[in-house]
Amino acid sequence: MIRPILRYGAEVLHQPAAPVTEITPDIQRLIDDMIQTMYAAPGIGLAATQVGVPLRIFVADLSAGRNPAELLTFINPELVEREGTQLEEEGCLSVPGFNATVVRPARAVVKGLTRDGVEQLIEGTGLLARCFQHEMDHLEGALFVDRLRGLQKDLIVRKIRKLSKAGKW
């Protein structure tokens, strides 16, 4: 089932998510829904908070559904290593229509459980590292806009407020 993706300003997007205590059939259904929602958007990553569920789960697939082997699911993920620097443009399904250049580490290693409860440790570089860190930010209650400073952030937030007041957000 494709779920609605919440937009910047929704309360659940700005709060840390809770750990998953048990991988139940409801969690499996949520993961299936998140994958369908991510592909339909289309996107390369989606956190549970973006569909209104405050749990520490994210899915990622740089192939956007073209290569099933690239689909990754993380339950209770943790960043265990980060290094280097990359400066690239970033967007977000919860902030549609806005992009900005965000500084992030060029390499990130994430540890967490697969949907089957098996521990995994995956290293990402470049775009995958960026995706991992972007989704981890969601689980901490942050969006890429929160990483911006000064005029760049102010302009985006003001435009979002204006759209919101006009009922277009």
Q: Burial level of 101, CB count in 10 A (0-12/13-18/19+)?
A: exposed
Tokens of 13: 């997007």
Environment class of 153 (CB within 10 Å of its CB; exposed 0-12, middle 13-18, buried 19+): middle
Catalytic residue among 22, 81, 90, 135: 135
Q: CA–CA separation, 74 vs 124, rounded Å?
A: 13
Whether residue 70 lies in the annotated active site: no
Tokens 């209650």, residue located? 141
- How far is Cα 158 from Cα 34, in angstroms, rounded to an integer? 29
Identify whether the C-beta of residue 35 lies closer than 8 Å to the C-beta of residue 41.
no
Between CA 90 and CA 102 the distance in angstroms is: 6
Active site residue ranges: 135
